Amino acid sequence: MCKMIKSSFACPVCGKTLTYNEKSYYCKNNHCFDISKKGYVNLLLSNRMNAKNPGDNKLMVRSRTGFLNKGFYEPLLKALGGAVCRYARTGDVIIDAGCGEGYYTAGVKKILEENGIETVIAGIDISKNALGTAAKRDGEIEYAAGSVFHLPLKDSSCDMLMTVFAPYCGEEFRRALKKGGVMVMVIPDKNHLWQLKEAVYDQPYLNEVKDTELEGFDFVEKLCVREKIQLECQKDIQDLFNMTPYCYNTSSEGRERLAALDSLETEIEFDILIYRR
């Protein structure tokens, strides 16, 4: 008989704690969810899907994976890992809500381990395309298909919640976090990828940066990451472009200008916002 392990996730049907073995997840009401061949469990109910295959498509996942694996956003990963280490404690449950293809989930886990902080870290994303890549990146991390607006988590079940470029759902994040728990949010700052936008738009615009005040959270601190990256080939330029929302609203003329570039230097600007529930 396979050994059952307590999961970080909750049953999306009845809300009870899930346990799992190498094949499936179960709750005490006998709701069962099989682990896919790609290594994640699908906890996204059909009535909570806004499309047949929601979330990032294969092109976006492939582009983001190729770009991130080359280390262009490593300054952000190191700063994020450092921030998590300052607030995490051994035994904490950390959820990456909107984890995508797992670059930051796996990277933060590694940084925690290097600093001797033993935590349980799990990732949730609505894109099955992204989760297949995430599970391949680190098979020891639990990954589940689910929506950040209906997290498959019990009330007050996590000590820390990471949200990196993901949609913000305050009500659901407050529900899942313990009182006194920490939320680490990463957002682009106003000049992020300015030179990329100059290349594709006739009238580039600054990113909107909203006020730090969030209902139900105390703002603790803001950490800024400011760097310039140099892309030396067309593939890296296209990978960056394809992993951003700009690829959906750029004209054919803008795409042609981008395709003509042999290299691109652009600013990257991120804010890491720390909140306490």
Phi and psi for 268 in degrees, rounded to 5?
-120, 130
The 10 Å Cβ neighbour count of residue 162 is 26
pLDDT in tens, 246-265: 888 899 999 999 999 999 99
Does residue 33 form part of some domain? no
Band (pLDDT 50/70/90 cuts) for residue 1 is very low
CATH number at residue 69: 3.40.50.150
131 within 8 A of 58, measured Cβ to Cβ = no
List all residues 6 or more positions away from 169 whose beta carbon is below 8 Å from its beta carbon: 148, 149
Does residue 242 form part of some domain? yes
User: Rounded CA gap, 224 and 230, in Å?
Assistant: 20
Per the structure, the count of domains in the chain is: 1
DSSP state of 54: -
Does residue 30 form part of some domain? no
Nearest alpha-carbon partner for 270 in 197, 209, 201? 209
Does residue 166 form part of some domain? yes
- Looking at residue 183, its amino acid is M
Does residue 112 form part of some domain? yes
Q: Which two tokens stand for residue 147?
A: 């929506």
Domain of residue 242: give its range.
Answer: 39-276
50 within 8 A of 41, measured Cβ to Cβ = no
Q: What is the pTM for the complete model shown? A: 0.94
Does residue 164 form part of some domain? yes
pLDDT in tens, 160-203: 999 999 999 999 999 999 999 999 999 999 999 999 999 999 99
Q: Residue 49 pLDDT > 60, yes or no?
A: no
Mean pLDDT score, 63-82: 97
Mean pLDDT estimate for the chain: 94
Does residue 110 form part of some domain? yes
Band (pLDDT 50/70/90 cuts) for residue 136 is very high
Does residue 24 form part of some domain? no
